[in-house]
Structure 1
Amino acid sequence: MRFIKPIALTFLLPTLYCTTPSTAATSLRAEARAILAQDTVSWNQKLPFDNEVLTGKLKNGFTYYIRRNVEPEKRVTMYLANKVGSILETDDQLGLAHFLEHMNFNGLKHFPKNELVNYLQKAGVRFGSDLNAYTGFDETVYQLPIPSDDPELLKNGLQVMRDWAQDALLADDEIDKERGIVMQEMRGGRGVGQRLQDQYFPIVLNGSRYSKRLPIGTEKIITTFKPETIRKFHQDWYRPDLQSIIIVGDIDVKDMEARVKALFSDLKAPAKKLERTRYNVDLLNKNQFIAITDPELPYTVAQIMIKSKEEKTVTVKDYRKQLLISAFNSIVADRFSEIMQQADAPFMQAGGSISGFIAGLDVFSLMVVPKPNQLEVGFKKMMTEFERIQKFGFTQSELDRAIISMNKSNETAYIEKSKKKSDSYVGRYLNNFLKDDAALSNDDSYKITKQLLPTLTLKEVNALISKYYTDLNRDIIIMGPEKDKATLPAEQTVNNWIKEVESQNLTAYEDKVSKLPLLSKEPVKGSVVSNKELKEINVKELTLSNGVKVILKPTNFKNDEIRISAFSPGGSSLYPDADYYSASNAAGLVDASGVGQLNNVELQKYLTGKNIGITPYISERYEGIYGSSDKEGLKNAFELIYGYFTEPRLDQDVYQSIIARSVGSLENRDSDPSNVFSDKVKETLYGDNIRRKNATADLVKTIDKDRAFQIYKERFADASDFTFTIVGSFTEEEIKPYLENYLAALPNLGRKESYKDLGIVEPAQGKRVVVHKGKEDKASVQLAYYGDYTYSESENINMEALESILTIKLLERLREAESGVYSVGASANYGKLPRQRYSFGIGFGTAPDKVDVLIKSAVDEVSKIKKSGPVKEDIDKFVIEQKRQLELQLKENGFWVSYLSGSYQNQEDVTEILRKLDDLSKVSVESVKAVADKYLKEDRMFEFILLPDAK
């Protein structure tokens, strides 16, 4: 487990950036000056459009973007964008933009009823993860990634896009069936977040039309609208002048353009065309305040939103301003990251950022999640930092680090441009069509960013706080647990807090950068003593002089990416229950403390501008390292690995901060229905076993700093039984010096260790367990089977087939036929060590009064497969999906590092992956039937059901 429970916030903090000494910034400026002298751009110049995409507009107003990109090969991604969302709905159409999105999967001119999903599944396209769509306030977007090496499939894929554009059948019976599905989606989305949003949305959206047009709609409209109403919405708004197709992939661009022209030129606009009004959220030029509570909210959140008019990015000067804002946000994130390292930080999370918001607005959003009963002090601490920034600004060294990080990101993106995935281009063209945003080419983005970064000045970045941190158009939202309702502050109280902060005598931030090297001493070099070549999969297995085993797989899947994973048997299983929380959290505490001579704050500054992430871990059966680097950062990456073995640290302030924040985030965890449900499930399966219980405040308090550090050092005291897997863009000659200088220098005690089989298994007899918790009228169901397993390649692939095929049948039955769920699926898990065990689950959400009938339906689908096996068509769907996924996986560094490391852990033949296609061809009706009958035993099935509070 991880001891810090993630905090789900209404508004997210910006991504944290690394920082670095200012000397590199000086070099960057010199380099950029040379570039600027050769090839400058005018700040007033309009940003150039991407010259690598073919774009055009048909006579009927339909727009297209077509780009060739061969990553991945033999694939194409198609999107249909519509400038049509819930904002266009009339009062009797609430929710119908989203409902229409659903209907485009339930009957098209060339794919009646559910034939669309069925046809694409036969081509290996997964419903939900590949084939999907979304509806927002202002747009509805459909996506279809498909193979491009099948001419018939490519032709039909385009036909799907054409049908989506205007040829939904909208049959009465299909509409009525879909009502229940949309209601289940609405029901599933209800909860504490939605209830709070219902209250604060009218404020943050200034009472605008947007606050009255949530895409999900209303229950009354969804359940009662007449089919003519949605047909009218379709006729009015699904028209070519509001539509665009985006096609990126391994295709012939000119051929694709001809196909688009042939297919989409006959799209018709309605005889009477309604005006597509562009709605905005107007500024009210006043401040607003709301304090709200909910019984299921486990912590207090305070949010300040300062709204301003959006400034579009049209010219180079506008783009430069966005770079200034990015630098500002990155420095703020670093400041708050540093504060959170302090033992007495009064909040669990805090920060702020400037960003785009909605409908013509930008927002400066400040947020704090205080520790329990510390709202005032946490709020003031958060505000104090922004006051400090306003009074003193940032330091030049902070800006230098931000610029270096941004430059590194720019360089990395440019290096990887030839390996860029097709999906990553879609957003660029979507935003250009939907929002008129700039769409820069890879080369222009790199060049302009490279030229502009060195021109950013500290004065300009500091000026942003005055521009966005104002006392007008400010919304303050306080959200807390219902039990704290009486103590939540009033508006005047919060205003007084702000005035008190403004009147403080503050001192400027001091940017402390360590001049010490990461390691206190250089490693003593070792050597490679043997190697073994596995030519079939281009892998080498090396043994180092200290016993460390290294698995190398050089690839060309990325231009500059290296993945690293290492493991050693042991883990927390070797320690008694009393030490479990100290053992399982030891690596996390060490990771948060820095390494060698640098604490975590100093380390992040040291690593500025480097694409490096190295993390130690201790799991139940293993300890190890995982991470990644580029070639430039390899020396530092191996320094970190060496440091985590030989010079770990666990700082007192970090320990106190993490424990306090973790305890605070868990204090009211029982107010969340999902936590109560999960606790009961684990209690049923594992009793009071501390190693399977969810984290609680009391359990976190059992973490002993000294014991955790002692355990960590014990686990990493001996590298002789470690296996390192390294995959990516390197050659053996390039990586070998790091193996000898760092990995071969790791300590060698010659221990012979293994993990301990703790004997923790689920009961052999299933049972029904019902939990009542929650305000919303919704239910959650988990059906689960557990038991001993016969681990083999054949058994594994048939279990995966059972998972995939049963998911198809459950969707067809529970969703499409019975309209009882929005989503449902099966999941299979199996393992070889420490003993061969499996679990198989079925999960869905629904209405409380549908629970029993849907469980009966799900079990009936299981029984059908056990009795007669699956239909051959569903096996074919599974096989083609697996083949198509395998094609992609075999060209991913992440897949190979995971596969190779897992194979060595399980002591399996690493070349088995080459026989995967043969294994797939052996999956049959009989083989799937056999595993279903063997493992899905009726008496083993647990029924876990979460229902709302009894009334």
Structure 2
Amino acid sequence: MSFYQRFTCAVTVSLLLSLSQATALGTCQFSPSDSLRLTDTLPMDTGVIRGELPNGLVYYIRHNEEPKDRVVMYLATRVGSIVENENERGLAHFLEHMQFNGTRHFPKNELIDYLQRAGVRFGSDLNAYTSFDETVYQLPIPSDDPELLKNGLQVMRDWAQDALLDGEEIDKERGVVLNEMLGDRGAQQRMRDQYFPMILNHSRYAERLPIGTKEIIEGFDHETLRAFHRKWYRPELQALIIVGDIDVAVIEAQIKTLFSDLKNPADAPERSEYSIPLRGENQFMAVTDPEMTQTVVQIIVKHPETKVKTVNDYRTQLTKSLFNQMTSARFAELTRQADPPFIQGGGSIGGFLRGLDAFTMYVASKPGEVKLGFEAVVTEFERIKRHGFTATELERAKSNFVASIESAYAERDKRKSESYVDSYLNHFLEGENVLSNEYRYQLSKQLIGTIMLDEVNRIGRQYYVDHNRDVLIMAPDKDKDSLPDEKAVDSWFNTLKAKDIAPYDDNVQDEPLLEQQPQGGTVIKRVDRPDLGMVELTLSNGITVVLKPTDFKNDEIHFAAFSPGGTALYNEKDFLSATYAATIVGGSGLGPYDATQLMKFLSGKKVSVRPYIAERYEGFNASSGKKDLHTAFELIYAYFTVPRLDIDVFQGYMQRIKASLANRLDDPDAVFADTINAVLYNNNIRRTSMTVEQVDLINPERAYEIYKERFADASDFTVTVVGSFTEDEIVPLVLQYLGGLPAMNRKEEAPDLGIYPPEKGLQRTVYRGKEPKSSVRLYYFGNYDYSEDENLQMDALESILNIKLTERLREAESGVYGVSVNASYAKSPRYRYSFGIGYGTNPDMVEPLMTSAMNEINTIKQSGPTQTDIDKFVSEQRRVLEVQLRENGFWLGHLSGSYQNGEDPAYILKYLDELRKVTVESVKAVANKYLVEDHLFKFVLMPEAQ
């Protein structure tokens, strides 16, 4: 994945709100203690070993045991697209690709093959990215195999300087990169090409997108790429980051042995630093596209970047964080109005791009209401600028922050290795010291209380200014003539500056969530499962409670609950009301609190409860820290017994849904998805995307009735709780709040709605889109022999076919950037399966690649996979499960899913032994059984005729 994809996403959804950490600016009024001075330089974490070899290569090594027997290795090179000459545009990113296509010790595709056999997945584990200023490679591997650990270091050494860059491999990779480029083409990219020069102030960054240009990728000479590699991949520009369950001293010695012979070329060019100049002027641009579905306004006020070097810098960073948190709460409240002024809006202070910070405002406006949305967002920031925040807002923001840092500190010994990497990358790339867990916690706790309200308000005024301001409007083509010009927007700003704006009224309630505490129940049956470390309790009101205490985290508790029923119990007239019932109620508040007051009530608490109503089940998902476990149970009880319906929230939500759907069908991908669902499910309302007209079918009162019906009877609920609790701690809460829920002893089961694809496959082609690109979706559907063994074989087929199609369509034929293969199977209402294959490609390659995909499928059906492919699947499953068995989220899903399907959850304990049942013949058999040509559906999206 290249960095420009992630960068563009941030720009077009909510422009550059979080490209980098917020950094410090301004003065403060904090009087430091004798032991802490604001001018003190922030100390480097002593828990990481940092060294530098004589050739300039920097390394960071940290011992960390979460996850156990795992290590992550990163190689960062301070080289990205910004250093490219005109004839090299895209080569930094292309070179990133080539590192996986042959190195000295792993020629051709042997690297991927070797790591897959070790259980490392290409794409999800083994990956890399290219940015404007750096290229970073990642390799997470097991550390309990000395040979694998040794070879992992060898991979990093090869990536540092030993790419083979074989001519044949280079030419094959051109198609892969061109397909990556093609996949990004669309409304967002076409508009980005127009506005990037403006928002990047016509700097070199505007001319050096990492993906490069089609002309260069198609035509560069092999030697040009090799020369680029020789001059830039050198140790003085590189850093090695290794974090995991390793012996630090051994790894350091191996690094010195393996990497010290890296050479810096004598004629190496200087690595120049580039920046985006601030011109002190304001800029404006409106861009449109026929496939843009919403009108979005971005207001970007740029400022020089200030790095976090001192205690004072860190304190100001905290101040910005508080500002952003309070701003977010203000805009969340605005969206709950009966007639919200926009679909989405907000703003924050954050990083922009190397050398700059920015204050960014954004609004996604309702159709034809650009001015209204613009005025709402700017008015709120004018209100903040003039009147500031209130003391109670700041108190809540501080409370939330303290809860966050306390939770993070509680987990310091369970922190994942991966989470350390970004801070070490930032130290290497930006020079900002990495704080230890202990120092960050103590410093944050000491500083947060000293930040005064006027300081937070001053931060807003420092960043919200009238120079170095860009206004960017992105809109559908059909709205082009109605968009404002620069003069109009300037007049809007001037009018709002002169407008009388009242201060914010922070109305705060303070009353119990529950008027009366529930009368608890009792345990009428107990089943201990020491093999699974869990206990199953049946309560006097019928609820089944599954408890699994763990030590995987110190402050993490997860809940999942389900009950048979769901939207399937309701006819098509009520279907949409039932579908949105939990969302409407969940957004309306609870008990005595409306939604805004509930958020204020929960400030400083690590707790979340979300009810849901799905097609065949209703229930809730929740999470909590240990300190707030009581509150979590109160919220669960309240969602059953004192839900609310807020008509203003409902009306506002429906308005925003309508506005977001207004131009949805201008998006080719949306039309393609709708066509697939229409063909497969005969336009059934339960399987189609909602239209603007259908929004009016949602009845708030009926939705509220349905919600109360679904949660009126707790007797058939199964509640699973996994995490950092003891049985003694949680059972009293279980008995009082779950045992106290109402029970009607209904016997419900979701009916079979009979919504299935046709028995016989077919092919449909959709012609939409301006770009010369296509999407292909292949599906098999049918009845299924559901069993643990059958599921295992189907999972193996999915994994193996994903490998084979990637090898064939990407590596051999250079026709795609990526392939997705997904198998799913269900036990209810019928035993059914689906098997899907998807990829994007050039329109000219649709038929040849489809033929190749079918060839790979038929090869498995005729001959079965190779034993090597079986070994890769088994190794991957083994390594993945080793980590999953130490994760609360995995156990929550496994236990809850097992109870939902009426299966023994102990199956997971023998899963590794069951892997021996996966053989060449077993996978061949399951492929022949389910990948049946008569059940194949082919869907193709082709561009419109020009």
Matches within 5 A, 1:400-549: 400-549=395-544
Matches within 5 A, 1:129-148: 129-148=124-143
Partner Cα distance (2:461, 2:414) in 1: 41
Matches within 5 A, 1:885-900: 885-900=880-895
- Aligned equivalent of 2:368, options 353, 366, 373: 373
Partner Cα distance (2:433, 2:317) in 1: 12
Give yes or no for the alignment of 1:299 onto 2:294: yes
- Aligned equivalent of 2:693, options 680, 690, 698: 698
SS of 2:501's partner is coil
Structure-2 residue corresponding to 1:624? 619
TM-score (structure 2 length as normaliser): 0.97
Structure-2 residue corresponding to 1:363? 358
Structure-1 residue corresponding to 2:571? 576
Contact 1:663 1:701 (8 Å CA) reproduced: no
| Aligned residue pairs, count | 927
Contact 1:41 1:448 (8 Å CA) reproduced: no
Question: How far is the alpha carbon of 1:813 from its aligned partner?
Answer: 0.6
Give yes or no for the alignment of 1:785 onto 2:788: no
SS of 1:677's partner is helix
Structure-1 residue corresponding to 2:40? 45
- Aligned equivalent of 1:189, options 184, 187, 194: 184
Q: Which range moved further: 529-538 or 842-851?
A: 529-538
Give yes or no for the alignment of 1:286 onto 2:290: no
Give yes or no for the alignment of 1:10 onto 2:13: yes
SS of 1:353's partner is strand
Residues 773-802 of structure 1 deviation map (CA, whole Å, 9 limit, x = unaligned): 001110000010000000011100100000
Structure-2 residue corresponding to 1:725? 720
Partner Cα distance (2:340, 2:575) in 1: 27
Residues 436-469 of structure 1 deviation map (CA, whole Å, 9 limit, x = unaligned): 1221111111111111100101011000122111
Give yes or no for the alignment of 1:260 onto 2:255: yes
Partner Cα distance (1:461, 1:169) in 2: 54
Give yes or no for the alignment of 1:73 onto 2:68: yes
Q: 1:824 to 1:586 in 2, by over 3 A?
A: same
Question: How far is the alpha carbon of 1:500 from its aligned partner?
Answer: 1.1
Q: 1:591 to 1:7 in 2, by over 3 A?
A: farther
Query: What letter is aligned with 2:733?
Result: Y
Contact 1:371 1:665 (8 Å CA) reproduced: yes
Partner Cα distance (1:192, 1:7) in 2: 15
* % identical equivalent positions: 56
Partner Cα distance (2:90, 2:174) in 1: 11
Give yes or no for the alignment of 1:83 onto 2:86: no
Partner Cα distance (1:171, 1:769) in 2: 40
Partner Cα distance (1:437, 1:942) in 2: 54
Structure-2 residue corresponding to 1:711? 706
Question: How far is the alpha carbon of 1:520 from its aligned partner?
Answer: 2.3
Contact 2:761 2:937 (8 Å CA) reproduced: yes
- Aligned equivalent of 2:87, options 92, 111, 114: 92
SS of 1:825's partner is strand
Question: How far is the alpha carbon of 1:519 from its aligned partner?
Answer: 1.6
Structure-1 residue corresponding to 2:828? 833
Structure-2 residue corresponding to 1:159? 154
Structure-2 residue corresponding to 1:344? 339
Partner Cα distance (1:623, 1:397) in 2: 37
Contact 2:16 2:351 (8 Å CA) reproduced: no
Partner Cα distance (1:734, 1:758) in 2: 43
Matches within 5 A, 1:705-854: 705-854=700-849
Question: How far is the alpha carbon of 1:359 from its aligned partner?
Answer: 2.0
Partner Cα distance (1:188, 1:101) in 2: 18
Partner Cα distance (2:895, 2:10) in 1: 33
SS of 1:537's partner is coil
Structure-1 residue corresponding to 2:635? 640
- Aligned equivalent of 2:860, options 856, 865, 880: 865
Give yes or no for the alignment of 1:178 onto 2:173: yes
Structure-2 residue corresponding to 1:554? 549
Query: What letter is aligned with 1:10?
Result: V
Q: 1:53 to 1:722 in 2, by over 3 A?
A: same
- Aligned equivalent of 1:613, options 608, 617, 639: 608
- Aligned equivalent of 2:200, options 200, 205, 209: 205
Partner Cα distance (1:45, 1:763) in 2: 70
- Aligned equivalent of 2:598, options 589, 600, 603: 603
- Aligned equivalent of 2:923, options 901, 912, 928: 928
Query: What letter is aligned with 2:640?
Result: F
Partner Cα distance (2:10, 2:621) in 1: 24
Contact 1:10 1:193 (8 Å CA) reproduced: no
Question: How far is the alpha carbon of 1:273 from its aligned partner?
Answer: 2.0
Give yes or no for the alignment of 1:398 onto 2:393: yes
Question: How far is the alpha carbon of 1:80 from its aligned partner?
Answer: 0.1
Partner Cα distance (2:524, 2:603) in 1: 35
Partner Cα distance (1:393, 1:611) in 2: 27
Partner Cα distance (2:295, 2:232) in 1: 42
Query: What letter is aligned with 1:502?
Result: K
Q: Which range moved further: 158-167 or 460-469?
A: 460-469
Contact 1:13 1:352 (8 Å CA) reproduced: no
Residues 379-405 of structure 1 deviation map (CA, whole Å, 9 limit, x = unaligned): 111111011111101101111111111
Contact 1:40 1:451 (8 Å CA) reproduced: no
SS of 1:843's partner is strand
Question: How far is the alpha carbon of 1:411 from its aligned partner?
Answer: 0.7
Contact 1:582 1:707 (8 Å CA) reproduced: yes
Query: What letter is aligned with 2:14?
Result: F
Partner Cα distance (1:437, 1:488) in 2: 43
Partner Cα distance (1:431, 1:402) in 2: 27
Partner Cα distance (2:580, 2:797) in 1: 36
SS of 1:742's partner is helix
Question: How far is the alpha carbon of 1:818 from its aligned partner?
Answer: 0.5
Question: How far is the alpha carbon of 1:825 from its aligned partner?
Answer: 2.6
Structure-1 residue corresponding to 2:851? 856
Structure-2 residue corresponding to 1:908? 903
Give yes or no for the alignment of 1:115 onto 2:110: yes
Query: What letter is aligned with 1:386?
Result: F
Query: What letter is aligned with 1:488?
Result: L
Partner Cα distance (1:9, 1:795) in 2: 44
Structure-2 residue corresponding to 1:18? none
Residues 884-914 of structure 1 deviation map (CA, whole Å, 9 limit, x = unaligned): 0010111110011111111001000111111
Partner Cα distance (2:368, 2:519) in 1: 52
**Displaced runs of 4 or more, over 3 A:** 6-10, 12-15
Partner Cα distance (1:412, 1:7) in 2: 28
Partner Cα distance (1:553, 1:8) in 2: 43
Structure-2 residue corresponding to 1:26? none
Query: What letter is aligned with 1:696?
Result: T
SS of 2:531's partner is helix
Structure-2 residue corresponding to 1:227? 222
Partner Cα distance (1:902, 1:465) in 2: 48
Question: How far is the alpha carbon of 1:7 from its aligned partner?
Answer: 12
Question: How far is the alpha carbon of 1:856 from its aligned partner?
Answer: 0.2
Query: What letter is aligned with 1:11?
Result: S
Coordinate RMSD, CA, aligned: 1.3
Question: How far is the alpha carbon of 1:12 from its aligned partner?
Answer: 5.3
Residues 895-939 of structure 1 deviation map (CA, whole Å, 9 limit, x = unaligned): 111111110010001111111012111100010000000000011
SS of 2:441's partner is helix
Structure-2 residue corresponding to 1:216? 211
Question: How far is the alpha carbon of 1:14 from its aligned partner?
Answer: 6.1
Query: What letter is aligned with 2:211?
Result: I
